[in-house]
Structures are given as structure tokens and as C-alpha cells.
Amino acid sequence: MSDTAKPDPSDESLVLEYEFDAPPAKVWRAVTIPELRERWLPDCDLAGAEPETSIPGEEVRYRMRDSEPPFRESQVIFKIEPNVSGGTRFRIIQQACAKLPKPANSNCCLMRAAA
């Protein structure tokens, strides 16, 4: 197994890639069968236990929610495809659902109220 983190500055996604010796069907079961998924991605981390979308055998999307305020939400996408050695290329893509406001000290233009 190998893994690589690849942040994409254009859409502020976090991308992790793994290579598994297991066949794609086995990895698919691990991310879609609730009893198996619960072992490594508990329902309490999800905004809803059911996937938002699914392309059977290839991709499944869940919505995640922080357990503490401000309870930010993100979308996590699991992509599965066979690799050249007969195993699985597994990608996890996490994307923020909403842009966070810039901090006041972000060195951008200040807005001043008219007096």
C-alpha cells in the first residue's frame, strides 16, 4: 500500500491516493456496506449515513460534518478503479461544502462604513 496527499489549490480539495492488493469489489464493499464502513468511517462523522450519490463499483459520495462548532460540512468522495497489478487504486477526495470567510487580518482591502 502506498499513499500520497495532493492538495489542489484551485478547489481547496484534499486528495489521498492508495494502492491496495485487494480487488476493487472487496474495497467497494468496505466503503459501501454500513457495517464495514463503520469500522473506519463512523456514522457519527457523517451528516447522513446514506451516500449522497453512487456509481456502483466506481464512486460513492458521503457528506461529513464536524462534531464540534462551527459544525463545518464537507463532501468525501471515494473513487475505486483496478490497478495494473490486479489490485485497486483507491482515491479519497475531500472538499469543503462552503468557503470559509477570510480572517480580518488577511491583508485584503478594508471596507469602511460611510459616516
Give the pLDDT confidence of 10-47 residue by residue, as tens digits: 457 899 999 999 999 999 999 999 999 999 888 888 88
Q: Is the peptide bond before 51 cis (omega within 30 degrees of 0)?
A: no
Q: What is the pLDDT of residue 7?
A: 39
> How far is Cα 105 from Cα 84, in angstroms, rounded to an integer?
49
Annotate the chain with DSSP letters as a single string: --EEE--BTTTTEEEEEEEESS-HHHHHHHHHSHHHHTTTS-GGGBS-SS-SEEETTTEEEEEEE-SSTT--EEEEEEEEEE-TTSSEEEEEEEEESSPPPPPTTS-PPPP----
Give the pLDDT confidence of 98-109 residue by residue, as tens digits: 655 555 555 555
Return the minimum-mean-pLDDT range out of 43-47, 62-66, 108-112. Answer: 108-112
Q: Tell if the pTM clears 0.75, that is, is over it.
A: no
